[in-house]
């Protein structure tokens, strides 16, 4: 797996078929990347392998056209099968070291960080980015009942050297706070997937992030 696309964590879309208001993921992703989404993770917890691969292939065609990396949630086998740019791994997924061995040094591998203890462990790994989860409580991660908050973002980004995105109920009204707390970008699910116009939602979110980074820098 050879990385040909630059990792830009500014605005990271995590797909959710159930939150897409009956619209196809392909349509949502196309609108989102045209609006400025810089990274896309295909998350399909309920699909069998064959339809997952078919979905990934169709999404990858869209993203390749726009030069945006495709990451696969959890499934290293699917990432390999479709030639995705990498994977995102949670604490119950394949260990980072094994995924790196399988995918190679050029693959993008991101890791979820849900506690300070995890942050200490992840800080010693050569992951390409981390996702701090959840910044605020979110229905898309029902198993995570305690939000890390902005203090958690600040503390974890102080521990981990990797680029960081915050995820968890981040909207236009609080995205700047997450950047000021130390994140390099934001990851969004419902804020784009459930938006009436995913492209406009992406444009607004990206503008907020870029303005906050400019002021912080």
Per the annotation, the verdict on 123 as an active-site residue is no
Residue given tokens 């992840």 in the structure block = 122
CA–CA distance, 38 with 13 (Å, rounded to integer): 8
Domains of the chain, start order = 11-197 (3.20.20.70)
Q: What's the confidence (pLDDT) of residue 216?
A: 79
Sign of the C-alpha dihedral, residues 80, 43, 163, 203?
positive
The active-site residue, picked from 5, 34, 100, 141, is: 141
Q: What is the pTM of this model?
A: 0.94
Per the annotation, the verdict on 6 as an active-site residue is no
Residue 141 parent element (H or E):
none
Per the annotation, the verdict on 60 as an active-site residue is no
- Per-residue pLDDT of 146-184, as tens digits, reads 899 999 999 999 999 999 999 999 999 999 999 999 999
The residue-averaged pLDDT of 15-41 equals 98
- Per-residue pLDDT of 175-213, as tens digits, reads 999 999 999 999 999 999 999 999 999 999 999 999 999
Q: Is the pLDDT of residue 4 over 60?
A: no
The active-site residue, picked from 20, 31, 55, 112, is: 112
- Per-residue pLDDT of 38-96, as tens digits, reads 999 999 999 999 999 999 999 999 999 999 999 999 999 999 999 999 999 999 999 99
């Amino acid at each position: 797996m050879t990385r040909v696309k630059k990792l830009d964590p500014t605005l990271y879309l995590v797909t959710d078929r159930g939150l897409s208001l009956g619209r196809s993921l392909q349509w949502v992703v196309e609108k989102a990347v045209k609006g400025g989404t810089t990274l896309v993770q295909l998350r399909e917890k309920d699909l069998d392998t064959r339809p997952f691969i078919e979905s990934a292939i169709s999404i990858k065609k869209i993203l390749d056209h726009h030069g945006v990396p495709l990451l696969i949630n959890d499934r290293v086998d699917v990432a390999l099968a479709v030639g995705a740019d990498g994977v995102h791994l949670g604490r119950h997924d394949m260990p980072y070291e094994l995924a790196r061995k399988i995918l190679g040094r050029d693959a993008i591998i991101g890791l979820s960080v849900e506690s300070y203890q995890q942050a200490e462990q992840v800080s010693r790994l050569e992951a390409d980015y981390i996702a701090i989860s959840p910044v605020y409580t979110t229905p898309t991660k029902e198993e995570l009942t305690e939000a890390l908050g902005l203090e958690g973002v600040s503390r974890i980004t102080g521990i981990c050297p990797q680029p960081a995105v915050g995820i968890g109920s981040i909207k236009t009204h609080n995205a700047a706070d997450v950047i000021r707390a130390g994140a390099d970008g934001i990851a969004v699910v419902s804020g784009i997937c459930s938006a009436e116009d995913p492209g406009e939602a992406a444009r607004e979110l990206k503008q907020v992030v870029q303005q906050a980074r400019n002021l912080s820098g």
